[in-house]
């Protein structure tokens, strides 16, 4: 019987034909540090608070799982170009619900944004062909996408004049019938912007342009406050700004809108463009310095949480860090401010409506503000607050999330709107433009006649009714 | 193999959906461990089913491919229970998070295993109920995971642990077979499979649905935060409060390091000189609660409390609890990681343990803190360490091992609520000997014969549970029939002495349902009992155990046994430390003797039993006995440990003498109610209770059964927490020397004001239903109260069921009680027989004393079994049992029960044919 030849096995001493591909790890700039990553003790208490975990049931879609992925990159077990790592860093809403429940105080938002910054940096290097390894997942995006990103992030958000001009065009687009034509023609689908287009808020015809104007308090002025006007809020949500100013006036505040302020940089930070975020931060800090105000008021949860963290963002900038700390100390969410100074309940008229409150993540989790919005709502005579299930679970908006992760955004939007509708409330209130847009979109999809309002709008309305 | 693996994944994707399978290696890494991170090893694939049917499919495929299955809930476990030690398939229950049904009338809910503990309580809150076990991770951990580790929590001091709240489990076995362990009906017949699966750490099967008990939310509660200058005085307070008859829901302690951490982290302003913090919570009806709070405050003051912070409002209470609940987090921030050790010691050993733990911290130069369930003696020392410093890791482990050794030396166990997993598997041999482990391995081999479910867990890493079971099996079969039958008598006489071996007429008083044994042996002690069993086994003799003989009427008619082993001479107290509220006694101790012993220390076993002077504790355990008074649970809930003589005379021990314990399989629950068919109970460890400050009973008589039952329904809808509600029909009332068509006896125990409130409210409800008479009984001059409950316990006495008398037990879901009683009444009328019924009304258990002729008895039993399944013919003249399946319908899980019987008693010598499976 013939002996079967044994196949020759490669021995360890023999050189292998293929050079091992080095794993692409974190680079030093804006690195999620081991200290921050290792603060996680893997207890899993965050799981139930995480919207993407609740939707998928996948460990890697949980905060603990994502931290483990970061740790794996940091320890060189997987590369920065791991599709699972990239997908998870993108799928996270950065709602930071996990931070609020973490017994070990993990700064999840910080390490997530740093991880995203790492991906963005690697992608940039790849696009500039400076990376030693070529990875599919880091391959440059199509030119039109890169250009669009360039225009939006470096152009529009950086310069409020451009932003307003663009918003003006949008308003025209929405009002002239061009929107109707574009939708009908299917051109949006063609350029893959259908999803994005439905998310666009109805834009106002006029804008709030901060030029140092001062709105005097009604009656005696006890406080002087400055207000952040931001980008989207000052164009698409002008009525909310106007309501905010009127409510502050009713509450003995002189309100000043300092010039030269702009976008808070939240979207930059969340998407890993930390340098872009820093530029905007420096500009805002400078704009609000030396005003001698009692507080800087923010009425959008996302902007508020970003402003409150400027000192972390500028931690490594010795010149700006201290200035950031002084700035941060003044930031107050409008609901936080009004409950702190004690809401002026005089002159509040009756609003006989049932409302349910969708808590913006960047208010409840990032800023840990949960009671004040409810306190304000309950102060309105006639108003009935009906709590929805999972009121603090992300609605799926999360900045540009519904553009980058449309499927998950839709699932979470659906979950949220079902909970809201179950309460039978006529109005869903919130305190963030992203949530507003998401809720309106979901209601439109469901063809349900339920309003979405900012809490401050209802307060304003109650004061107006009281005056009438 | 690789090809096979790919095929498996493809099949699973096709059948369960593409999203249901994870196989990307980077993603699989996130499943390499649970809340513990001592060992990390990723699975080969993860399956995330959404339905029980999908779990069955996944398990079937794993079975076909012979790969390990590791169940995973939220992965918050701290002992490595969900770590896939041998790779294989992780089945995650995260997508099975539905509360399937809330059944308020029966106080239970059907839930999927992925339901989050806290969310279940939230779900039923609006009905006024909660799911009682509340582990500290309750906001993330799942019911399935809780079942696997028999989780506890701060409130289990009063409410019990997971095993006390699981009624039945829908289980998928290793080959994909799906079965229920029970139907959740109280007092049903059959081995306690549910009790076996709870705490089995995913090694026996996969729970796909659970029927859980719901607990009424208390009407009110009070919390005290007390600070003490030292741990010893705080520990004294724990014992004193419990001993004084106040039954707190929680007694939580923190030591100075924990206090400092919390103080710094949360600015609670706790006095810095305090060495111990005690959180005490009591709940119940509003009445009497403030008196209780005052009494507890007084005890704290007597023991030198530095500061007391009573909390009456909900907000104050939340603030008080915040200190406790945030403690782990506060300490967690002091170091990169902590090792949370979980052991249990008798409550009185706490001060000593605290001293030792502090010394260990000094010896190994490691910072430590203590936050623990003091009321249960459940220690949780935290060792702070840096996981990246190998030396610190080693020192942390050394401390953990030392704490475990000390706990065992002090009479404790190695896990109170976290389980064994991989963390403590090698400490199992410190707690159990080879025979103990072999007896546990029987369960493993029966449920998990190919070691597919969660392999390499719980048993010491150097021992294979399948081999252990095999060793035991061959030990038993090899020694069987090695002694000539003629040697039986002489050998038995040599063991117990001629005086204590009876034959012929001497054996007659020990007749079991008319059958006299060839020999009756009365061993003097544990060793003699073991030797008697060994002799019987070697001689091939069948054996029936005999306690007081008070309940030998129960069970199928059997052939005359070769040997009856009486435990009457095993009547000693083995260990009684009143301050620990635990007692260990030999099986033959009569209940009355035991109660007198306890009463001398102001303590009790909270039940009344027929013929207490004769009935023995071992006999009651063998019966799985339950009674009318269930406010503190039944005997099952009071059992802590057992010493058992196996069929071949091997002595094994299971459980412990501490109130919380998750150390291996729960043979205690399995042997409770096994009717002497699996082994013979030689000694019993029990949790005992302080006698309540006050007791009273309202006896309300009604013109119709409907009025009584309508009153019952209203009582159930209130916040009242009676310790017993007994329904009595006309016949039962007549037996008690009373008249009336129907009555309710409602018993309350606790603070006088709380009892008064119960009496007042129940009387008012009874009046609404036109009660003929309401009478409050207390133990004043005439002991009316005790006498009534003793009489109720004897209503369905089985020993005098002779002539045309038969005693039946009918078990139904509590909400079906009215229908079942109506059915019984209708049958009595149709068949012209007299039936006296009493019922443990909140639990759906009806006891009937029937006087009728043979044919009617047959019809009655058959009809009731057909409609209600669980109708047990407990006792009648032996000859009347012929042709009747006395245990009613075949129980769920009968296949497993058969398999367990055959595994524990392979030669079928123990009480053969007596129980529902044989």
Residue ranges per domain, chain B? Answer: 2-92, 220-409, 694-881
| Chain B interface mutation, best of A60, A91, A423, highest count of B Cβ atoms under 10 Å | A60
Answer whether residue A4 shows pLDDT above 60: no
Closest CB to B332 among A41, A57, A64: A41
In CATH terms, A34-138 corresponds, of 3.90.950.20, 3.30.499.10, 1.10.1060.10, 3.20.20.30, to 1.10.1060.10
Plot region of A393 (φ>0 → left; ψ -120 to 50 → alpha; else → beta): beta
What is the C-alpha separation between A81 and A74, in angstroms, rounded? 12
Q: Which residues pair with B111 in a beta bridge?
A: B99, B210
Q: Does A60 touch chain B (CB under 8 A)?
A: yes
Q: Does A422 touch chain B (CB under 8 A)?
A: no
Q: Does A43 touch chain B (CB under 8 A)?
A: yes
* 8 A C-beta contact, residue B745 and residue B841: no
Q: Where are the beta strands (DSSP E) in B32-190?
A: 45-47, 69-72, 89-92, 99-103, 108-111, 129-130, 166-172, 178-180
* Min Cα separation A12/chain B (Å): 23
Q: Which residues of B557-588 are buried (b: 16+ CB within 10 A; e: fewer)?
A: bbebbbbbbbbbbbbeebebbbbbbbbbbbbb
Q: Does B98 touch chain A (CB under 8 A)?
A: no
Q: Does A85 touch chain B (CB under 8 A)?
A: yes
Mean pLDDT of B272-285: 92
* 8 A C-beta contact, residue B211 and residue B110: yes
Dihedral (CA of B162, B660, B446, B619) sign: negative
Q: What is the pLDDT of residue B289?
A: 94
Closest CB to B30 among A39, A46, A68: A68
Chain B residues 836-895 with CB within 8 Å of chain A: none
Tell me the domain boundaries of chain A. Answer: 34-138, 143-198, 213-339, 348-467
| Chain A interface mutation, best of B74, B118, B139, highest count of A Cβ atoms under 10 Å | B74
Q: Does B140 touch chain A (CB under 8 A)?
A: yes
Q: Do B76 and A45 touch (CB under 8 A)?
A: yes
Q: Does A395 touch chain B (CB under 8 A)?
A: no
ipTM of the complex: 0.93
Chain A residue with minimum CA distance to B115: A48
Answer whether residue A8 shows pLDDT above 60: no
Longest dimension (CA), chain A: 110
Identify all chain B residues contacting A62, using CB atoms and an 8 Å cutoff: 30
Mean pLDDT of A59-78: 96
Chain B residue with minimum CA distance to A55: B95
Q: Does A22 touch chain B (CB under 8 A)?
A: no
What is the C-alpha separation between B647 and B674, in angstroms, rounded? 14
At B305-347, the pLDDT tens digits run 999 999 888 888 887 887 787 787 778 777 888 889 999 999 8
Identify all chain B residues contacting A102, using CB atoms and an 8 Å cutoff: 329
* 8 A C-beta contact, residue B35 and residue B75: yes
Identify all chain B residues contacting A45, using CB atoms and an 8 Å cutoff: 76, 137, 139-140
Identify all chain A residues contacting B22, using CB atoms and an 8 Å cutoff: 58, 60
Q: Does B328 touch chain A (CB under 8 A)?
A: yes
Answer whether residue B136 shows pLDDT above 50: yes
Q: Does A41 touch chain B (CB under 8 A)?
A: yes
Q: DSSP alpha helices (H): ranges in B115-172?
A: 117-125, 143-149, 156-159
Dihedral (CA of A99, A103, A105, A108) sign: negative
Q: DSSP alpha helices (H): ranges in B831-886?
A: 854-868
Q: What is the pLDDT of residue B395?
A: 95
Mean pLDDT of B500-509: 96
Q: B2-92: what fold?
A: 3.30.43
Q: What is the pLDDT of residue A186?
A: 54
- Helix A274-288 crosses helix A108-127 at what angle (to 10 degrees)? 120
Mean pLDDT of B888-901: 95
Answer whether residue B233 shows pLDDT above 50: yes
- Any idea which residue has 């291996």 for tokens? B664
Chain A residue with minimum CA distance to B26: A84
Closest CB to A82 among B26, B94, B332: B26
At B528-560, the pLDDT tens digits run 999 999 999 999 999 999 999 999 999 999 999
- The DSSP bridge pattern shows strands A427-430 and A354-357 to be parallel
What is the C-alpha separation between B306 and B631, in angstroms, rounded? 35
Q: Which residues pair with B413 in a beta bridge?
A: B344
Which class is A213-339 in CATH? mainly alpha
Q: B220-409: what fold?
A: Vanillyl-alcohol Oxidase; Chain A, domain 3 (3.40.462)
Q: What is the pLDDT of residue A218?
A: 93
At A400-437, the pLDDT tens digits run 787 788 899 999 999 999 999 999 999 999 999 999 99
End-to-end CA distance of chain B: 42
At B741-769, the pLDDT tens digits run 999 999 999 999 999 999 999 999 999 99
Q: What is the pLDDT of residue A285?
A: 96
Q: What is the pLDDT of residue A177?
A: 57
Chain B residue with minimum CA distance to A79: B26
Secondary structure percentages of chain B, helix, strand, coil, to 5: 40, 20, 40
What is the C-alpha separation between B372 and B258, in angstroms, rounded? 10
* 8 A C-beta contact, residue A228 and residue A284: yes
Answer whether residue A264 shows pLDDT above 90: yes
Question: Of B321, B314, B326, nearest to B263 (Cα)?
Answer: B326
Question: Of A118, A47, A41, A36, nearest to A81 (Cα)?
Answer: A118
| Chain A interface mutation, best of B21, B80, B94, highest count of A Cβ atoms under 10 Å | B94
- Any idea which residue has 């300490």 for tokens? B331
Residues with Cβ within 8 Å of residue A392, at least 6 apart in sequence: A49, A97, A359, A361, A364, A365, A370
Question: Of B326, B325, B320, B305, nearest to B224 (Cα)?
Answer: B320
- The DSSP bridge pattern shows strands B724-729 and B834-840 to be antiparallel
What is the C-alpha separation between B441 and B444, in angstroms, rounded? 5
Q: Do B30 and A53 touch (CB under 8 A)?
A: no
Instruction: Assign B525 a pLDDT band (cuts: 50, 70, 90).
Output: very high
Q: Reduce the secondary structure of B390-405 to three states and give it as a string.
A: HHHHHHHHHHHHHHHH
Q: Do B114 and A57 touch (CB under 8 A)?
A: yes
Locate B213 and state its tokens: 């008990």
Chain A residues 101-130 with CB within 8 Å of chain B: 101-105
Q: What is the pLDDT of residue B36?
A: 87
* Min Cα separation B415/chain A (Å): 18
Q: Do A72 and B92 touch (CB under 8 A)?
A: no
In CATH terms, A348-467 corresponds, of 3.40.50.261, 3.90.1300.10, 3.20.20.30, 3.40.50.11810, to 3.40.50.11810
Q: Does B75 touch chain A (CB under 8 A)?
A: yes
Answer whether residue A13 shows pLDDT above 60: no
* 8 A C-beta contact, residue B664 and residue B697: no
* 8 A C-beta contact, residue A377 and residue A462: no
* Min Cα separation A33/chain B (Å): 14
Q: Does B220 touch chain A (CB under 8 A)?
A: no
In CATH terms, B694-881 corresponds, of 3.40.630.10, 3.90.25.10, 3.40.190.10, 3.40.462.10, to 3.40.462.10
| Chain B interface mutation, best of A73, A103, A407, highest count of B Cβ atoms under 10 Å | A103
Q: What is the DSSP string of B49-61?
A: -SSHHHHHHHHHH
Q: Do B35 and A42 touch (CB under 8 A)?
A: yes
| Chain B interface mutation, best of A23, A37, A44, highest count of B Cβ atoms under 10 Å | A44
Chain A residue with minimum CA distance to B332: A104
At A295-314, the pLDDT tens digits run 999 999 999 999 999 999 99
- DSSP-derived secondary structure letter, B31: G
> Could you check whether B2-92 and B220-409 share the same CATH topology?
no
Say what percent of chain B tops pLDDT 70: 99
At B620-659, the pLDDT tens digits run 999 999 999 999 999 999 999 999 999 999 999 999 999 8
Answer whether residue A192 shows pLDDT above 60: no
Q: Where are the beta strands (DSSP E) in B703-767?
A: 724-729, 742-750
Instruction: Assign A16 a pLDDT band (cuts: 50, 70, 90).
Output: very low
Q: What are phi and psi of B111, to 5 degrees?
A: -130, 155
Q: How many CB pairs under 8 A join A and B?
A: 96
| Chain B interface mutation, best of A23, A35, A40, A47, highest count of B Cβ atoms under 10 Å | A47
Instruction: Assign A165 a pLDDT band (cuts: 50, 70, 90).
Output: confident
What is the C-alpha separation between A99 and B34, in angstroms, rounded? 19
Chain B residues 308-327 with CB within 8 Å of chain A: 326
Identify all chain A residues contacting B94, using CB atoms and an 8 Å cutoff: 53, 57-58
Q: Does A188 touch chain B (CB under 8 A)?
A: no
Closest CB to A57 among B36, B48, B332: B48
End-to-end CA distance of chain A: 108
Chain B residue with minimum CA distance to A106: B333
Locate B50 and state its tokens: 């959404």
Plot region of A230 (φ>0 → left; ψ -120 to 50 → alpha; else → beta): left
- DSSP-derived secondary structure letter, B870: E
What is the C-alpha separation between B514 and B802, in angstroms, rounded? 12
Q: Do A58 and B22 touch (CB under 8 A)?
A: yes
Mean pLDDT over all residues of chain B? Answer: 94
Q: Does A371 touch chain B (CB under 8 A)?
A: no
Question: Of B349, B458, B363, nearest to B407 (Cα)?
Answer: B349
What is the C-alpha separation between B671 and B685, in angstroms, rounded? 13
Q: Do A101 and B76 touch (CB under 8 A)?
A: no
Q: What is the pLDDT of residue A180?
A: 56
Q: What are phi and psi of B742, to 5 degrees?
A: -160, 155
The lowest-confidence range among A156-165, B278-287, B831-840, B876-885 is A156-165
* Min Cα separation A84/chain B (Å): 6
Q: Do B30 and A65 touch (CB under 8 A)?
A: yes
Q: Do A44 and B92 touch (CB under 8 A)?
A: no
Q: What is the pLDDT of residue A176?
A: 61
Q: What is the pLDDT of residue B840?
A: 97
Answer whether residue A7 shows pLDDT above 50: no
- Helix A433-446 crosses helix A406-422 at what angle (to 10 degrees)? 80
Q: Which residues pair with A253 in a beta bridge?
A: A223
């Amino acid at each position: 019987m013939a002996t079967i030849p044994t196949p020759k096995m490669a021995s360890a001493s023999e050189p292998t034909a293929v050079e091992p591909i080095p794993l692409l790890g974190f680079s030093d700039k804006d690195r999620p540090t081991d200290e921050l990553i290792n603060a996680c003790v893997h207890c899993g208490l965050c799981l139930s608070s995480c919207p993407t975990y609740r939707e998928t049931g996948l460990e890697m879609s949980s905060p603990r799982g994502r931290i483990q992925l970061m740790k794996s990159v940091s320890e060189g077990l997987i590369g920065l170009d791991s599709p699972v790592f990239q997908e998870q860093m993108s799928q996270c809403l950065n709602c930071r619900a996990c931070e609020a429940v973490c017994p070990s105080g993990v700064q999840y938002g910080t390490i997530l944004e740093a991880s995203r910054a790492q991906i963005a940096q690697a992608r940039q290097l790849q696009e500039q062909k400076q990376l030693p390894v070529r990875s599919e997942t880091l391959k440059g995006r199509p030119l039109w996408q890169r250009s669009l990103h360039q225009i939006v992030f470096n152009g529009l958000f950086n310069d409020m004049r451009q932003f307003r001009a663009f918003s003006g065009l949008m308003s025209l687009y929405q009002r002239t019938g061009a929107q109707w034509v574009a939708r009908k023609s299917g051109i949006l689908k063609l350029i893959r912007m259908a999803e994005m287009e439905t998310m666009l808020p109805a834009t106002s015809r006029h804008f709030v342009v901060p030029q140092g104007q001062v709105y005097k308090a009604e009656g005696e002025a006890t406080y002087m406050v400055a207000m952040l006007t931001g980008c989207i809020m000052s164009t698409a949500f002008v009525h909310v700004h106007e309501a905010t100013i009127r409510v502050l006036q009713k509450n003995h505040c002189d309100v000043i809108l300092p010039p030269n302020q702009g976008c808070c940089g939240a979207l930059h930070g969340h998407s890993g463009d930390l340098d872009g975020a820093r530029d905007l931060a420096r500009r805002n800090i400078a704009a609000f310095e030396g005003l001698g105000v009692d507080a800087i008021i923010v009425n959008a949860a996302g902007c508020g949480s970003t402003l409150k963290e400027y000192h972390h963002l500028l931690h490594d900038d010795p010149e700006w860090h201290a200035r950031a700390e002084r700035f941060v100390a003044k930031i107050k969410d409008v609901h936080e401010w009004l409950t702190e100074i004690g809401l002026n309940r005089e002159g509040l008229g009756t609003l006989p409506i049932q409302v349910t409150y969708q808590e913006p993540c960047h208010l409840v989790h990032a800023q840990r503000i949960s009671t004040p919005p409810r306190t304000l709502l309950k102060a309105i005579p006639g108003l009935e607050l009906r709590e929805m299930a999972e009121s603090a679970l992300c609605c799926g908006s999360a900045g540009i999330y519904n553009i980058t992760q449309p499927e998950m955004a839709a699932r979470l939007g659906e979950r949220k709107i079902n909970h809201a509708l179950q309460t039978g409330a006529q109005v869903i209130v919130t305190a963030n433009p992203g949530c507003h847009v998401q809720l309106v979109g979901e209601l439109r999809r469901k063809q349900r006649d339920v309003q979405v309002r900012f809490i401050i709008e209802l307060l304003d309305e109650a004061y107006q009714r009281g005056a009438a | 193999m690789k090809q096979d693996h790919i095929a498996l994944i493809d099949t699973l994707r096709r059948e369960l959906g593409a999203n249901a399978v994870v196989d990307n290696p980077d993603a699989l890494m996130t499943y390499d461990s649970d809340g513990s991170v001592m060992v990390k090893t990723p699975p080969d694939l993860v399956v995330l089913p959404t339905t029980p049917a999908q779990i069955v499919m996944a398990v079937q495929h794993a079975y076909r491919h012979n790969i390990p299955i590791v169940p995973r809930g939220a992965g918050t476990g701290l002992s490595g229970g969900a770590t896939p030690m041998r790779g294989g398939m992780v089945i995650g229950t995260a997508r099975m998070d539905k509360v399937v049904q809330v059944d308020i009338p029966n106080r239970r809910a059907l839930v999927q295993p992925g339901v989050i503990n806290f969310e279940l309580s939230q779900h039923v809150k609006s009905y006024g109920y909660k799911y009682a076990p509340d582990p500290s991770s309750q906001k993330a951990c799942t019911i399935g995971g809780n079942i696997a580790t028999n989780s506890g929590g701060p409130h289990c001091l009063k409410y019990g642990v997971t095993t006390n709240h699981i009624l039945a489990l829908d289980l998928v076995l290793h080959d994909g077979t799906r079965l229920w362990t029970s139907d959740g009906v109280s007092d049903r017949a059959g081995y306690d499979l549910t009790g076996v699966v709870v705490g089995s750490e995913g090694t026996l099967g996969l729970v796909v649905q659970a029927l859980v008990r719901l607990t009424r939310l208390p009407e009110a509660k009070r919390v005290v935060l007390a600070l003490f200058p030292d741990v010893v005085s705080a520990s004294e307070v724990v014992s004193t409060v419990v001993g004084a008859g106040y039954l707190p829901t929680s007694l939580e302690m923190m030591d100075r390091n924990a206090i400092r951490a919390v103080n710094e982290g949360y600015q609670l302003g706790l006095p810095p000189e305090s060495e111990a913090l005690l959180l005490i919570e009591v709940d119940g009806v509003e009445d009497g609660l403030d008196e209780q709070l005052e009494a507890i405050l007084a005890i704290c003051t007597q023991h030198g409390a530095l500061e007391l912070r009573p909390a009456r409002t909900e907000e104050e209470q939340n603030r008080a609890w915040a200190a406790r609940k945030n403690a782990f987090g506060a300490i967690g921030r002091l170091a990169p990681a902590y090792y949370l050790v979980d052991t249990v010691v008798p409550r009185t050993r706490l001060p000593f343990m605290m001293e030792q733990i502090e010394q260990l911290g000094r010896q190994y130069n490691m910072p430590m803190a203590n936050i623990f369930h003091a009321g249960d003696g459940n220690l949780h020392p935290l060792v702070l360490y840096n996981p990246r410093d190998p030396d610190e890791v080693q020192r942390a482990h050394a401390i953990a091992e030392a704490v475990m050794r000390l706990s065992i030396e002090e009479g404790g166990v190695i896990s109170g609520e976290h389980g064994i997993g991989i963390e403590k598997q090698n400490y199992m041999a410190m707690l159990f000997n080879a025979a103990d482990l072999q007896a546990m391995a029987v369960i493993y081999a029966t449920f998990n014969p190919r070691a597919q479910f969660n392999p390499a867990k719980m048993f010491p890493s150097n021992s294979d549970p399948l081999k252990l079971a095999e060793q035991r099996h061959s030990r038993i079969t090899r020694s069987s029939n090695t002694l000539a039958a003629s040697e039986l008598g002489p050998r038995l006489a040599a063991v117990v002495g001629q005086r204590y071996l009876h034959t012929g007429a001497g054996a007659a008083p020990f007749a079991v349902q008319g059958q006299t044994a060839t020999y009756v042996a009365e061993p003097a002690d544990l060793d003699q009992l073991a030797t008697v069993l060994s002799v019987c086994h070697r001689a091939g003799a069948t054996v029936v155990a005999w306690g007081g003989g008070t309940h030998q009427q129960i069970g199928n008619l059997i052939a005359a046994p070769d040997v009856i082993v009486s435990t009457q001479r095993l009547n000693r107290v083995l260990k009684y430390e009143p301050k620990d509220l635990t007692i260990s006694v030999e099986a033959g101790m009569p209940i009355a003797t035991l109660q007198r012993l306890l009463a001398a220390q102001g303590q009790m076993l909270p039940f009344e039993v027929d013929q207490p002077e004769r009935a023995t504790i071992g006999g009651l355990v063998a019966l799985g006995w339950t009674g009318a008074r269930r406010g503190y649970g039944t005997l099952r809930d009071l059992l802590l440990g057992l010493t058992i003589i196996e069929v071949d005379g091997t002595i094994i021990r299971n459980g412990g003498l501490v109130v919380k314990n998750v150390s291996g399989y729960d043979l205690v629950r399995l042997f409770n109610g096994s009717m002497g068919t699996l082994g013979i109970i030689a000694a019993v460890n029990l949790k005992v209770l302080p006698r309540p400050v006050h007791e009273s009973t309202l006896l309300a008589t009604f013109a119709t059964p409907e009025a009584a039952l309508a009153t019952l329904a209203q009582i159930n809808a209130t916040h009242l927490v009676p310790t017993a509600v007994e329904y009595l029909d006309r016949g039962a009332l007549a037996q008690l020397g009373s008249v009336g068509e129907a009555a309710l006896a409602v018993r309350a125990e606790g603070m006088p004001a709380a009892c008064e409130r119960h009496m007042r409210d129940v009387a008012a409800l009874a009046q609404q239903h036109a009660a003929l008479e309401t009478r409050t009984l207390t133990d004043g001059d005439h002991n009316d109260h005790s006498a009534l409950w003793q009489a109720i316990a004897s209503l369905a006495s089985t020993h005098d069921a002779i002539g045309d008398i038969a005693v039946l037990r009918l078990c139904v879901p509590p909400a079906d009680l009215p229908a079942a009683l109506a059915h019984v009444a209708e049958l009595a009328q149709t068949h012209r027989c007299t039936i006296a019924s009493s019922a443990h009304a909140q639990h759906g258990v009806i006891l009937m004393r029937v006087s009728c002729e043979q044919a009617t008895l047959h019809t009655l039993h058959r009809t009731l079994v057909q409609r209600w399944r669980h109708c047990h013919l407990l006792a009648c003249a032996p000859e009347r049992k012929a042709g009747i399946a006395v245990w009613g319908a075949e129980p769920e899980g009968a296949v497993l029960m058969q398999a367990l019987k055959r595994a524990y008693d392979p030669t079928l010598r123990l009480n053969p044919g007596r129980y529902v499976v044989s």
